[in-house]
């Protein structure tokens, strides 16, 4: 038993018509599966931006809800390169931690300016000590982390 609802499955498949009908009959838009993945997260994962919009606008989905690994819908959309889904989520108020997003995208934290300063040093110089700490202490997730993420979604992905 995966805990997936009909709305979750419609979101995963990108079936906007079914999602609209289910929401019309008060389907619970924020009810997550056993891995805390919501219908909005799975729609974003697959890049179904129109379904994301329906879940947010008609269903009032929690745009910043987190799964058991602390990922949000926008993190799933960004990780999978679904620009339109990212744009949909951003325009509707998704929170984004840009430092984490840059680091997860393999931004080079050791890159230096022409004056020889790293981003962490510039943040510290500007008084943003917490940002400097985030950059300096960031640990890139290893393969076991990625495998864990894959296991969380494996039961949540419906193949077309």
- Please indicate, yes or no, if residue 133 is contained in any of the structural domains: yes
What CATH number has the domain bearing residue 40? 1.25.40.20
Nearest to 22 by CA among 74, 61, 49: 61
48-88 pLDDT tens trace: 999 999 999 998 999 999 999 888 999 898 888 888 998 89
Percentage of the chain beyond pLDDT 90 is 45
Position 101 pLDDT exceeds 60: yes
- DSSP secondary-structure letter at 127? T
- Please indicate, yes or no, if residue 145 is contained in any of the structural domains: yes
109-129 pLDDT tens trace: 788 888 888 888 888 888 888
Return mean pLDDT, the chain: 83
- Please indicate, yes or no, if residue 148 is contained in any of the structural domains: yes
**Alpha-helical segments (H) within the chain:** 6-13, 16-24, 39-46, 49-57, 73-79, 83-91, 98-104, 119-125, 129-137, 143-154
Q: Provide the domain limits for residue 100.
A: 6-154
Looking at the structure of the chain, the number of domains it has is 1
- Please indicate, yes or no, if residue 160 is contained in any of the structural domains: no
Position 10 pLDDT exceeds 90: yes
Q: What is the mean pLDDT of residues 146-154?
A: 46
- Please indicate, yes or no, if residue 1 is contained in any of the structural domains: no
- Please indicate, yes or no, if residue 159 is contained in any of the structural domains: no
| pLDDT attached to residue 44 | 97
126-141 pLDDT tens trace: 888 877 887 787 654 4
| pLDDT attached to residue 155 | 45
- Please indicate, yes or no, if residue 61 is contained in any of the structural domains: yes
Confirm if 82 and 51 have CB atoms less than 8 A apart: no
CB atoms within 10 A of CB 13: 18
């Amino acid at each position: 038993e995966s805990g997936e609802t009909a709305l979750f499955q419609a979101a995963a498949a990108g079936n906007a018509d079914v999602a609209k009908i289910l929401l019309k009959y008060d389907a619970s838009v924020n009810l997550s599966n056993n891995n805390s993945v919501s219908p909005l997260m799975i729609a974003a994962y697959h890049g179904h931006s129109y379904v994301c919009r329906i879940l947010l606008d008609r269903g009032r989905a929690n745009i910043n809800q987190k799964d058991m690994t602390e990922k949000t819908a926008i993190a799933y959309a960004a990780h999978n390169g679904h620009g339109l889904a990212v744009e949909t989520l951003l325009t509707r108020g998704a929170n984004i931690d840009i430092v984490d997003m840059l680091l997860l995208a393999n931004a080079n934290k050791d890159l230096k300016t022409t004056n020889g300063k790293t981003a962490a040093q510039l943040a510290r110089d500007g008084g943003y000590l917490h940002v400097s700490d985030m950059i300096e202490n960031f640990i890139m997730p290893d393969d076991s982390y990625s495998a864990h993420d894959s296991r969380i979604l494996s039961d949540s992905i419906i193949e077309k």
